[in-house]
Amino acid sequence: MSPAQKEQTLYICGSCGYESRKWLGKCPDCGEWDSLNEERGPSRLSPRRQTATAQPLSEAEAATVSRLVTGIGELDRVLGGGIVPGSVTLVGGDPGIGKSTLILQLLAALATENQKVLYVTGEESADQIRMRADRLDIDRDGIYLATENRVEAILAMAGEVRPVLLAVDSIQTMLTEEVASAPGSVTQVRESTARLLSLAKGSGLPVILIGHVTKDGAIAGPRVLEHMVDTVLYFEGDRGLVFRILRTVKNRFGSTNEIGVFEMKESGLREVENPSALFLAERPVNVPGSVVLPSIEGTRPILVEVQALVSPSSLGTARRTAIGADPQRLALLTAVLEKKIGASLFDHDIFLNIAGGIRIDEPALDLGVIVALLSSLYEKPVPPDTVVCGEIGLAGEVRAVGHMDMRIREAARLGFTTFLMPATNQRHLDTRTAGAMRITGLGTVQDVIEQIFRA
């Protein structure tokens, strides 16, 4: 690298890592305002030259991947069946959500007398970690702890300890000697990650990075890292509630959209083995505006409660709020109802909520939203033994969704007896899948009114 390149000033977007030679008010890549900060290279604009050799694919080593299985079922599922050797996993989440707790429990699950794990923290003191370990009542055999934020020192330490897993808490506190920027800056976070990445790829040691998700400009947004690592997990949940959801947003070694459900207890995180029961625990029965949706999260069904509140607006522009669902989708569904059944919603405030702090992204939520909205608008409760799911098209048609067998089984397991689903799905069901469930097929949103609210 030439000295000229090294001294080069770059402006890097704190949100997505976009690089520019001059300052810009708005990032052209991600659209964030005032997110470009001055940093010094090295950067992708000045790539280092390396020699490398290509290898025929047929000669690439046969992939007999033996994953590190933690034995914590909710965690292993999210990881796609355990941790892959040489993989780098980013665990992101708001401060205080429980990332350090989760990782310490994960490390404890893997560590034994002759299977060492290494936990490096740049955030907390060794005493703080010990106190957490006491609180979690974990077996400390095989857990090595270091308070360090210099990546080069961590690399050396990993070589000495020879752990089966390295966890770095958090990547925003790490720094490499190779760049002059402050810890937490995009360059520093990216270069530190690159060092740890080559450690993982070179030695086969799997690495877990913890990252804070903060919109603050001083801390590098996690999107910078998402492209670099193999797996990205988000730990989310309402801090006021006890549920925590670990969600896969990227996984080179497994499916995405998988979730693991945990409960934060006094003594740490506990797996929730029956999330449907948990999410429905506080469901009000025979109250307008509430309906149950059998949703598919990754590879498994979870029943959730969709709540809507529709009330006349006192404002010039009616309010639209969606929590746990896409606000754009809510706007679209509201428009479909206005156009297709003449519901007058424009002068009503609409609040939509998925109970329990979970987020639902799949289109099968549409029918749940429509039913909840109409139930609240008409002040008519949905029968408590009923579940609904289906996608809604712009013409008001109810469109088929996948995994109907799983959805029916989960609904039946929790005692639901009536299932309103897309007519196309119903036509393809065999009697064995349907079991004792009473199934009604819906073709259009008008059918929804006929079947549920016309009584």
Residue the block writes with tokens 């990782």? 103
Task: Tell me how far apart the alpha carbons of residues 308 and 350 are, in angstroms, rounded to a whole number.
Answer: 7
Q: Which of positions 326-355 make contact with ligand TYD (CB under 6 A)?
A: none
Q: Which does 7 bind (CB under 5 to 8 A by kind): ligand TYD, Mg ion, none?
A: none
Q: Which residues contact 248 (CB under 8 A, 6 or more apart)?
A: 78, 79, 80, 231, 232, 233, 254, 255, 256, 257, 258, 259, 298
On whether the CB atoms of residues 412 and 394 are closer than 8 A, the answer is no
State how far the Cα of 191 lies from the Cα of 197, in Å rounded to an integer.
Answer: 10
Interface of this chain with ligand TYD, residues 113 to 132, rule: CB under 6 A: 132
| CB closer to Mg ion out of 210 and 411 | 210
User: Could you say whether residue 267 binds ligand TYD (CB under 6 A)?
Assistant: yes
Give the contact letters, 199-218, x = binds to ligand TYD (CB under 6 A), - = no: --------------------
Binder of residue 223, out of ligand TYD, Mg ion, none (CB less than 5 to 8 A by kind):
none
Choose the contact partner of 324 out of Mg ion, ligand TYD, none; CB within 5 to 8 A by kind. none
Which amino acid, 252? R
| Residue from 160, 266, 379, 430 binding ligand TYD (CB under 6 A) | 266
The single residue among 136, 332, 434, 449 that binds ligand TYD, judged by CB under 6 A, is: 136
- Minimum Å distance from CB 219 to ligand TYD? 13
Q: How far is the CB of 280 from ligand TYD (least distance, A)?
A: 24
CA 373 to chain centroid, in Å, comes to: 27
Q: If contact means CB under 5 to 8 A according to the sort of partner, which of Mg ion, ligand TYD, none does residue 268 touch?
A: ligand TYD
Other C-beta atoms within 10 Å of 311: how many?
Answer: 14
Which parts of 282-321 interact with ligand TYD (CB under 6 A)? none
CB of 169 to ligand TYD, least distance (A): 7
- Show the binding pattern over residues 99-118: x = contacts Mg ion (CB under 5 A), - = does not: -x------------------
Interacting span for ligand TYD (CB under 6 A) from 94-102, 172-180, 393-401, 417-425: 94-102
Q: Rule CB under 5 A: is residue 173 a binding residue for Mg ion?
A: no
Return the one option of ligand TYD, Mg ion, none that residue 267 interacts with (CB less than 5 to 8 A, by type).
ligand TYD
Q: Which window, 79-87, 93-101, 178-186, 437-445, contacts ligand TYD (CB under 6 A)?
A: 93-101
- The CA–CA distances, whole Å, from 86 to 65, 66, 202, 205, 348 equal 10, 11, 8, 5, 54
Nearest Cα to Cα of residue 95 among 259, 213, 180: 213
Task: Select the residue interacting with ligand TYD from 175, 246, 264, 354 (CB under 6 A).
Answer: 264
How far apart are CB 232 and ligand TYD at their closest, in Å? 16
Q: Contact with ligand TYD (CB under 6 A): which of 15, 35, 37, 101?
A: 101
Q: Does 237 bind ligand TYD (CB under 6 A)?
A: no
How far does Cα 304 stand from its chain's mean position? 17
Q: Report CA-CA distances (Å) from 299 to 77, 248, 280.
A: 9, 12, 20
What b-and-e string marks burial along 30-60, b requiring 16 or more CB atoms within 10 Å of the CB? eebeebbbebbbbbeeeeeeeeeeeeeeeee
| Residues 360-389 close enough to bind ligand TYD by CB under 6 A | none
Binding partner of residue 396 among Mg ion, ligand TYD, none, CB cut-off 5 to 8 Å per kind = none
Which stretch of DSSP H or E encloses residue 285? none
- State which of positions 43-102 bind Mg ion (CB under 5 A): 100
User: Are the C-beta atoms of 411 and 385 separated by less than 8 Å?
Assistant: no
User: Rounded to the nearest whole angstrom, what is the least distance from the CB of residue 98 to Mg ion in the complex?
Assistant: 8
Query: In the beta sheet, which residues pair with residue 305?
Result: 292
Nearer to ligand TYD, 101 or 192 (CB): 101
Note the residue count of the chain: 455
Residue ranges of E strands in 329-411: 348-354, 386-388, 391-392, 398-399
Per-residue DSSP letters for 44-101?
TTSPPP-------GGGSPP-----B--S-HHHHHHTTSSBPTT-EEEEEE-TTSSHHH
Q: How far apart are CA 369 and CA 175, in angstroms?
A: 47
Partner whose binding site includes residue 132, from ligand TYD, Mg ion, none (CB under 5 to 8 Å by kind):
ligand TYD
- Cβ distance to ligand TYD smaller for residue 97 or 118: 97
Nearer CB in complex with ligand TYD: 135/339: 135
Considering the complex, state which of residue 146 and residue 412 has its C-beta at the smaller distance from ligand TYD. 146
Burial of 201 (0-12, 13-18, 19+ CB in 10 A): middle
Among 77, 99, 116, 329, binds ligand TYD (CB under 6 A): 99
| Minimum distance of ligand TYD from residue 102's CB (angstroms) | 7
Which helix (H) or strand (E) segment holds residue 190: the answer is: helix 186-203
Contacts of 140 (CB under 8 A, 6+ apart): 108, 111, 133
Q: Give the interface with Mg ion as residue ranges (CB under 5 A).
A: 100
Q: Give the interface with ligand TYD as residue ranges (CB under 6 A).
A: 93, 95-101, 132, 135-136, 264, 266-268
